[in-house]
Amino acid sequence: MSKVYGYARVSTVSQDLTIQVNAIMTMGVEPENIFTDKLSGKNMEREGLQTLLSLIETGDTLIVHKLDRLGRSVSQIMSLVDELKNKGIYLVIMDAGIDTRNDEGMAGMMTKALMTIISLMAEMERVLILERTQAGIENARANGVKFGRPEVNKNAYDLAVIDYLENDMTSSAIIKKYGKDSAGKDLITEATLFRRVREYQSYQTAIKSYLESGKTKSVEELIAEGEHKKVRGEMKPILKAKKLTQMIKEVM
């Protein structure tokens, strides 16, 4: 039987989700089927969104209060919308009157028209970003800037993870602490920091499970029971066999 899910997002932990959640509930969505994030929409690696995407299936419906709750850029939003469409998942955008479940009559025509306009805006956004990026590169080269992959301290993120989990430092404080790389960019980025924290916790959980089993669980078993994440529509394990094997050797 198909299900109806809701998704709500605010950009910071100090903001309130109540208005969005209440609005979604008026559409008949059960509270336990509403997923939320208090995080910027600059990337799609949001825990609530990723959990939702791992559960929602063909024939299900996703309801959001406003379109921009799905992401920060039009192209990013359209990428997610296309992913949902390709999976046969319906989308309802409350404030825009978009409901892809209804493809008949005037309502269906309006929904298709709005989605077409949004798609065109996404394409325009991609073109403008490409043009600005190319112009910026050419201008920088004219001023003697050399491009290439900057050198990154491989241990920086390991230390940053400890700062975040054990030293109770905020992500902004950590970014400031480690400064910038040779290209003038932050050596630590928030998105990568949170990803590394998640990975670190996954490996620690796996080692704990290994020890609790009396050191009998295999690497394959630990990877299978460990956390997975969605990559290009497929669920992939966070744990890597080589690294986990080395960690197991260290506790044997």
Residue 9 lies in a domain: yes
Q: Which residues contact 245 (CB under 8 A, 6 or more apart)?
A: 219
pLDDT of residue 119: 62
- Measured CA to CA, the distance from residue 206 to residue 197 in angstroms comes to 14
Is residue 219 pLDDT above 80, yes or no?
yes
Residue 166 lies in a domain: yes
| Region for residue 215 given its phi and psi (left: phi exceeds 0; alpha: psi -120 to 50; beta: otherwise) | left
Grade residue 107 by pLDDT with cuts at 50, 70 and 90: low
> Residue 204 carries which side chain, given as an amino acid letter?
Q
Domain boundary (86, 117, 148) is at: 117
The sign of the dihedral angle between the CA atoms of 52, 39, 92, 26 is positive
Residue of 33 and 251 predicted with greater confidence: 33
Same domain for 112 and 168, yes or no, is no
Residue 97 lies in a domain: yes
Domain boundary (101, 117, 133) is at: 117
Residue 94 lies in a domain: yes
**Distance (Å) of CA 68 to CA 43, 75, 126, 151, 188:** 13, 11, 17, 35, 27
pLDDT of residue 163: 86
Q: Which residues are part of the catalytic machinery? A: 11
**Distance (Å) of CA 126 to CA 85, 133, 208, 209:** 20, 10, 45, 45
Same domain for 106 and 181, yes or no, is no
Gyration radius (Cα) of the chain, Å: 22
Is residue 87 pLDDT above 70, yes or no?
yes
Same domain for 107 and 175, yes or no, is no
pLDDT digits over 169-200, tens only? 888 889 888 888 767 788 888 888 888 888 88
| Kind plus residue range of the DSSP H or E element containing 160 | helix 156-165
Name the percent of the chain lying above pLDDT 70. Answer: 81
Same domain for 238 and 160, yes or no, is yes
Structure tokens at 214: 């009396």
pLDDT of residue 184: 77
Same domain for 169 and 241, yes or no, is yes
pLDDT of residue 3: 94
Q: 48, 76 in Cβ contact below 8 A?
A: no
Is residue 137 pLDDT above 80, yes or no?
no
Q: How far is CA 26 from the centre of its chain?
A: 27
Is residue 122 pLDDT above 70, yes or no?
no
Same domain for 106 and 163, yes or no, is no
- Measured CA to CA, the distance from residue 6 to residue 62 in angstroms comes to 6
The sign of the dihedral angle between the CA atoms of 184, 190, 191, 195 is positive
pLDDT of residue 151: 45
Identify which of 19-28, 154-163, 188-197, 230-239 has the greatest average pLDDT.
Answer: 19-28
Q: Which domain holds residue 108?
A: 4-117
The CATH number assigned to the domain holding 63 equals 3.40.50.1390
Residue of 61 and 153 predicted with greater confidence: 61
* Other Cβ atoms within 10 Å of 61 Cβ, number: 21
Angle between helical axes of 74-86 and 105-142 (0-180°, round to 10): 130
Query: Torsions phi, psi of 63, nearest 5?
Result: -115, 130
Is residue 146 pLDDT above 70, yes or no?
no
Is residue 125 pLDDT above 70, yes or no?
no
- Measured CA to CA, the distance from residue 39 to residue 34 in angstroms comes to 16
Q: Number of structural domains, the chain?
A: 2
